[in-house]
Amino acid sequence: MDETWELTQMTRIEVVINGEDVAVAEDLFSGAGARGFTAVPNVSGLGHSGHHQGRLLFNQRDGLTLLTVVLPPERAGALLEGLRSLLANRSGVMLVSDTWVSRPEYFQ
């Protein structure tokens, strides 16, 4: 990373979960002190239990949603632990990666 870019390192956590689990994931984000997140509803794909349909016309609870949250690395561990616990008994995907942001105060 070029230091002249003046970016701050953060941790990005992406979760793909059922629409009906979004509310509890939001609670976990909030509990971990995340200041915001992005939700993309009705995502589709292929997982270990087969293809997952994208948008269901008249059922928003069983479609998949992609949630992306960015927070300081020191707070990521708490959230990861909660999400891992949440996903222990339900389908979902969790991806964790380093990321850099230009306005860190928005994520503190």
- Residues of this chain that interact with another protein (CB under 8 A) are 20, 23-24, 27-28, 31-33, 49-53, 56-62, 75, 77-83, 85-86, 88-91
Q: How far is the CB of 33 from another protein (least distance, A)?
A: 6
Q: At what angle do helices 73-87 and 22-31 cross, to 10 degrees?
A: 150
Tell me how crowded residue 107 is: count the other CB atoms within 10 A of its CB.
Answer: 19
- Least Å distance, CB 100 to another protein, is 22
* Shorter beta-carbon distance to another protein: residue 6 or 41: 41
Nearer to another protein, 1 or 57 (CB): 57
Residue 95 CB, shortest distance to another protein, in Å, is 17
b or e along 58-76 (b: 16 or more beta carbons within 10 Å of the residue's beta carbon)?
A: eeeeebbbbbebbbbeebb
